[in-house]
A = this chain, B = another copy of it.
Amino acid sequence: MASDALPRRIVVVGTGLIGTSIALAMRERGAEVYLTDRDASSLRMAVELDAGRPLPDDGFDGPAELAVLAVPPAAVAVTLLDAQKRGLAEVYTDVASVKALPLDQAAELGCDLTTFVAGHPLAGSERSGPAAARADLFLGRPWAVCPAGTSSPEAVARVEALVRACGAEPVTVEAAAHDRAVALVSHGPHVVASSVAARLTGADDVALGLAGQGVRDVTRIAAGDPALWIGILTANAEPVADVLEAVATDLAVAASLLRDGSEEAATHVADLLLRGKAGRTRIPGKHGGRQSAYATVPVVIPDRPGELAMIFQAAGIAGVNIEDVTIEHSPGRPLGVLEIAVAPEAAEKLAAELRARGWSVPG
């Protein structure tokens, strides 16, 4: 096969969320997928989900085109060595959230680094395990591809073919730069979210009753699997520590400025808020940054069957394409607010159509 063609036979080592999702995605593209996992129940579930068939103990006829090592960062190097000794595949990649350390370890163990191309799909979930897997997990997501100087161009092309087959966008980045980047946009924020959430363990019920969407969003990722995350954080220790120290310093300084109470001190705290607002706008939005271009039409909806269908039907009749929807429920009440994101020029038309049909659309 050409190295950039869709791999037709792959092995997935590790049937957790990511491994099983890759298997499902490749099955949808018609590939033959073999699965293996140290945990027999995880493997059985992945097979039941039709993600592939179990890898026979004695292998099969000749190597697969590609083996995906979907194991924690600390297990990548030893799993690669074992897979290469068994001759499982022509090309190997991994999916760990950390790239430099496993690569160093693989070099130390004497792995063949011409056939290995490190990778990292930027997709996930607070849920883990094969049951949470889905073929569309990688659709439109970035997927870091980190060829070492030793990786052969053919191996790189084959891994990029896998990435595209899963619906993701390959982003080529050097391993150390990758690790600093994810410390900043993923690993560091994870620990920060955990620290904020940890303060809530001692909070009284009144305080928690005043919690709004803000603290829910800030702490959402803290619900992730601690066992999985401690492996990621320790494997990317220095870059994560750099980010945490910088944030800790900002927060300690802000605290002392607030206690100072002077107007000048307040100006410095305001500077931090301004820098935060500026940094926030640098994150690319949905639809490649077009998110802020949408207008939002809010509709008050009774919480009963059929209501959403009627609203979306009305939008269809008005010829309005819905870009996004959010439902804001009212805790304890059979009532919610549906926010419909549409092109700005369509907002007024949609609002008028919905009002004409009796829905309450606040001005």
Contact = CB atoms under 8 A, between A and B. Distances in A.
A169 B332 contact: yes
A41 interface: no
A280 to B, nearest CB: 4
Copies of this chain present in the complex amount to 2
Given A211-B185, A217-B220, A196 B206 contact: no
Given A238-B259, A244-B252, A286-B331, A50 B363 contact: yes
Interface residues of A, number: 139
A184 B221 CA distance: 18
A327 interface: yes
B196 A189 contact: yes
A233 B258 contact: yes
A247 B196 CA distance: 6
A358 interface: no
A212 B171 contact: no
The secondary structure that dominates the A interface is helix
Interface string A182-195: 10111011111111
Interface string A211-228: 110111111111110110
Interface string A283-314: 11011110000000010100111101100110
Nearest to A275: B198
A81 interface: no
Nearest to A194: B276
Given A214-B190, A266-B234, A362-B134, A140 B329 contact: yes
A247 to B, nearest CB: 5
Contact of A241 (B221, B256, B300): B256
A177 B206 contact: yes
Contacts of A210: 122, 142, 144, 171, 173, 178, 181-182, 185-186
Nearest to A167: B330
16 contacts: A122-B210, A140-B332, A140-B335, A141-B330, A185-B212, A188-B196, A190-B214, A191-B251, A192-B195, A196-B247, A201-B282, A234-B258, A244-B254, A286-B329, A288-B332, A305-B319
